[in-house]
Amino acid sequence: MKSKTDIKKLVTIALLLAIGMVLYQITPPFVMGMRPNFLLAMMFIAIILADDYKLTLIIGLVSGIYCAIISTFPGGQVGNIVDKLITCQVVFLMFKAMKSRMPKQVMIAIIGFICTAVSGTVFLVTASLVAGLPKSFTFLVLTVVIPATIINTVVSIILYNAVTVSLKYSHK
């Protein structure tokens, strides 16, 4: 039987991913059709909170399915699942390597930056293999992936702070 702590962790992760999906879906695009990927940021936070490899794979799969459901990009359904399954593992490995070596704010910024870039690049490669790309790979990296990486880094830090404050007050 699962302990109360394990169930609380699973419920928290499920809520984070659901909130991330809703925020991602309702946020209007504002730069060349791009919007912050709140679900990706919440995936990073959920993996850090979980601190468990099996849960990391589940978080990645669920995040990929959620993103696939709302994707309008050609080949985006497969691209989202593949990219989240790869990205979640990169997040987990980076988290394990950095967790005791640096402040959490710096760690989440680095993870947010690098892993958003990984996610976007893997997504584009997968989508190009599945359905082709509407524009050149380089053009999409420069105009979508790099700006998304910068925006998602800031969003990751803000959401991480909000989640940690919320969890701190909810456990009192």
- Residue 71's pLDDT is what? 85
| Mean pLDDT value across residues 123-149 | 90
On average, the pLDDT of the chain sits at: 91
- Residue 125's pLDDT is what? 94
- Residue 27's pLDDT is what? 87
| Residue 41 backbone dihedrals phi, psi, to 5 degrees | -60, -40
52 neighbors 96 (Cβ within 8 angstroms) = no
Q: Tens digit of pLDDT for each residue in 41-55?
A: 999 999 999 999 999
| Mean pLDDT value across residues 156-168 | 94
- Residue 41's pLDDT is what? 96
DSSP secondary structure of 68-135: HHH--STTHHHHHHHHHHHHHHHHHHHHHHHTTTS-HHHHHHHHHHHHHHHHHHHHHHHHHHHH--SS
Q: Tens digit of pLDDT for each residue in 93-128?
A: 999 999 989 999 999 999 999 999 999 999 999 999
- Residue 1's pLDDT is what? 47
Q: Tens digit of pLDDT for each residue in 71-94?
A: 888 888 999 999 999 999 999 999
Count of alpha carbons within 13 angstroms of residue 81, beta-carbon side: 8
% the chain with pLDDT above 90: 72
- Per-residue confidence at 169, pLDDT binned at 50, 70, 90? confident
| Mean pLDDT value across residues 6-29 | 91
